[in-house]
Amino acid sequence: MIKINQLEKQKEKILLVGNHPYIIQSVLDFDYLSEKEAPSIVAILGNYDGFSKYFWGDREILLPIKKDLDTFEEKEQIRWFLSLSSGRRVLESGRMLADKLPNLKGGAFFAENVPEKHAIELFHLAQEKEFLFVGPASIGLLIPGVLKLGPIGGVTAEQIDSAKIVEKGGVALMAASGGMTNELINVIKQQDLRLSFALSFGGDRFPMLTTKDAVLLAQNDKDTKVILYYGELGGVDEYELIELKEKGELTKPVVIHIGGTVADLFPESPQFGHAKAKASRQDERAEVKRKELKKAGFFVSSKFKEVGNLLKKAHE
């Protein structure tokens, strides 16, 4: 498995797949504010060969657009991709990237509406080749000063600056929800703490990165002192945390908030915003997960406003 603290600030180069100007610019702003020597984005994979105009600080720069990876000589530098392709194309494009990028370490899939079957195929591909894939429907992966793979942490330079996401700290953040990832970055900042890394699993039923692998990523990261985890009703991923703790594979403190107790107001659990957010069984209910996690000795908040204090406590 990849070691987050061994990644190299100047060498983690990215291939952008698809076009989302404000997300691309936010990666460049992050690089610039992290005082990197050069942009982390090597090229944009598109429908034609050409260039696209962006800013590096105040200076205009041109990012190359490539339509074919076979003839792209600098592809050896690429360690990561950020896929902004549509849901239907994710499987095909994921397989192609895995095949054509010889030094690939991982990538993030932004698209929603990826069929479950396709996400599962890519999950197995990642397991087999030891890639760190996050998504689908993920706002990405963030390692302060090193890597911003998606809109995670914001898309304007002001956001990146005020959220303090270029300064490295000791909190590893992982969340099912993209919006809550950013909200919790805000909570961490308010406690005057900083991130070791942050990622959003995406709210789909089968995230390519499992809860277990994400937690182990934090456990094995030298910089991480405490883990902050946000989960929701639906699915049983959180029980993996209990299993890891019981086996002694997870020793770092984990602060957890589980959303979705509101579902109990309905006669039958409705489908909430995220595809996975629906409890069909008792153990998928938010209340039950909170109770079981608490019993296993995790720092579990019963109200969201407690998260900040628990985090401070766990960090000490």
Partner 1 sequence: MARQKLTEFQAKEILSSKIKFRFNSFLADKGTTAIEIEKKFKTKALVVKVDQGVKKRGKRGLMKVKVTSRECTSFIRRVSRKGYSNFIIEEFIPHEQDDEQYMSMERVREGVKILMSPKGGVDVEDSMNLIKEYVIDYKLLASDSKLRKKLDELFADKVKASLLFDLIQVFEEYYFSFLEINPIVFKDAQIYLLDLAVEIDDAALNLIPTPVEIVEEANVSEAEIEVKRLDQNTPASLKLKIINPNGSLWMLLSGGGASLVLADEVADLGLGKDLGNYGEYSGNPTREDTYLYAKIIIDEMLKASSKKKVLIIGGGVANFTDVAKTFAGIIDALDEKSADLKKQKIKVFVRRGGPNQEEGLSLMEDFLKENDLFGFVSGPDLVLTGIIQKAIKKA
Pick the stretch among 51-59, 66-74, 75-83, 199-207 that binds partner 1 (CB under 8 A): 199-207
Specify the residue, 177 or 224, whose C-beta has the smaller distance to partner 1.
177
Asked if 203 is part of the footprint of partner 1 (rule: CB under 8 A), the reply reads yes
CA atoms within 13 A on the CB side of 219: 16
Using CB under 8 A, which of 134, 152, 165, 244 touches partner 1?
152
CA–CA dist 53, 21 (Å, integer) = 9
Q: Encoding tokens for residue 263?
A: 């579902």
CB of 6 to partner 1, least distance (A): 27
Asked if 117 is part of the footprint of partner 1 (rule: CB under 8 A), the reply reads yes
Q: Encoding tokens for residue 295?
A: 């019993």
Asked if 156 is part of the footprint of partner 1 (rule: CB under 8 A), the reply reads yes
Q: How many residues does the chain have?
A: 316
Asked if 303 is part of the footprint of partner 1 (rule: CB under 8 A), the reply reads yes
How many residues touch partner 1 under the rule CB under 8 A: the total is 66
Using CB under 8 A, which of 33, 261, 291, 294 touches partner 1?
261
Using CB under 8 A, which of 9, 105, 205, 312 touches partner 1?
205
Using CB under 8 A, which of 260, 279, 284, 285 touches partner 1?
260
User: Sign of torsion, CA 17 4 309 262?
Assistant: positive
Contact pattern for partner 1 over residues 36 through 75, marking x by CB under 8 A: ----------------------------------------
Pick the stretch among 5-13, 30-38, 74-82, 269-277 that binds partner 1 (CB under 8 A): 269-277
CB of 230 to partner 1, least distance (A): 7
* Catalytic residue status for 257: no
CA–CA dist 54, 33 (Å, integer) = 15
Catalytic residue list:
274
Contact positions toward partner 1, by CB under 8 A?
22-23, 87-88, 112-117, 120-121, 123-124, 139, 151-156, 159, 163, 175-183, 185-187, 190, 203, 205-206, 210, 230, 232-233, 257, 259-262, 264-266, 268, 270-275, 277-278, 286, 302-305, 308
